[in-house]
């Protein structure tokens, strides 16, 4: 088989997405000096519709569909995603081929006066586009006012500096990739806020039949990250929760051979929280995700999720 000389990487056009895609490009160039790698930028539905809350846009694949169509049409050879944006069901003929080592999955608070969540003034206003963050903030402090905030990290920081917001909540991984970790007023502990499924991780999507690209990207796969993210995605699939449903999850490897998954399902107003954890062998990650999801549903998560789906319909 003749080896290809060019490989095109698909990416969203946001600053963060391009930082991530360029990192993948540099890693692959280092290992494959005889191949020319380039990046093709795409604008997804989620990038175009910035005025409406994500939860109201409907459907799945808000940040992936256009990229996946380009991959299926052979316009690109691989896609770099933030794992948290990827629906649990991906198009036939595509596969998640590699999971680079995960960055810190925590959420962080950035506040005007460098205060942590518990010290914000009464009725402080917090901006976030995430129902998951909103619900867990309200579960911790019912007095806080949470408002919708869309846009990339630069936009959110500018709105904090110039608007009526007292604080915003963002993913720590994004701050680290922007070299802005000092902006964080608080790394929010997991006992207050569990992250989104796949948060902090990248994943590389390819055509299932493309064995050459599959081999090329294999050097980027981090086994522990793959197990963690796949466990969380099994949980999310069983709960039938999309990116915009208030479900949080965190997986950690309990060395040498165990994996622990903790997850939460919240009502939108934060008044009802169902949370539990499960531990098992790393190789049984799919069973772990399924079992914890089933447990949460039996504990009342099914009722919460049904009410949320009705309210967002």
Q: What is the C-alpha to C-alpha distance for residues 67 and 52, in angstroms, rounded to an integer?
A: 21
Task: State yes or no: is 107 an active-site residue.
Answer: no
Q: Look at residues 71, 18, 23 and name the one whose alpha carbon lies nearest to residue 47.
A: 18
- In the chain, the N- to C-terminal Cα span, in Å, equals 50
Q: Where are the alpha helices (DSSP H) in the chain?
A: 15-31, 45-48, 54-57, 65-72, 131-140, 153-162, 172-177, 211-217, 223-239, 285-296, 302-312
Please list the alpha-helical segments (H only) found in 1-44.
Answer: 15-31
Q: Report CA 33 to chain centroid distance, whole Å.
A: 31
Cis peptide before 256 (omega within 30 of 0): yes
Pick the catalytic residue from 85, 107, 166, 210: 85
Catalytic residues: 85
């Amino acid at each position: 088989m003749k080896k290809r000389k060019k490989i095109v990487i698909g990416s969203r056009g946001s600053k963060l997405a391009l930082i991530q895609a360029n990192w993948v490009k540099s890693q692959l160039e280092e290992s494959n000096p005889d191949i020319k790698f380039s990046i093709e930028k795409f604008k997804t539905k989620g990038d175009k519709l910035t005025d409406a809350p994500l939860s109201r846009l409907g459907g799945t694949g808000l940040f992936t569909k256009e990229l996946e169509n380009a991959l299926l049409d052979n316009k690109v050879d691989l896609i770099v995603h933030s794992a948290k944006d990827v629906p649990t069901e991906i198009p036939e003929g595509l596969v998640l081929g590699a999971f680079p080592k995960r960055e810190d999955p925590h959420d962080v608070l950035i506040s005007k006066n460098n205060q942590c969540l518990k010290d914000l003034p009464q009725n402080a206003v917090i901006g976030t586009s995430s129902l998951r963050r909103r619900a867990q903030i309200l579960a911790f402090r019912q007095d806080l006012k949470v408002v919708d905030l869309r846009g990339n990290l630069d936009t959110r920081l500018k709105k904090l500096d110039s608007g009526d917001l007292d604080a915003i909540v963002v993913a720590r991984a994004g701050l680290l990739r922007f070299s802005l970790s000092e902006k964080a007023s608080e790394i929010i502990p997991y006992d207050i806020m569990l992250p989104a499924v796949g948060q902090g991780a990248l994943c590389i999507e390819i055509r299932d039949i493309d064995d050459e690209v599959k081999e090329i990207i294999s050097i980027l796969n981090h086994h522990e990250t793959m197990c963690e993210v796949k466990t969380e995605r099994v949980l999310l699939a069983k709960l039938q929760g999309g990116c915009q449903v208030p479900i949080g999850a965190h997986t950690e490897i309990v060395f040498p051979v165990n994996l622990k998954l903790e997850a939460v399902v919240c009502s939108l107003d934060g008044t009802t929280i169902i949370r539990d954890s499960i531990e098992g062998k790393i190789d049984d990650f799919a069973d772990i995700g399924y079992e914890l999801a089933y447990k949460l549903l039996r504990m009342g998560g099914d009722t919460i999720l049904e009410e949320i789906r009705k309210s967002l319909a």
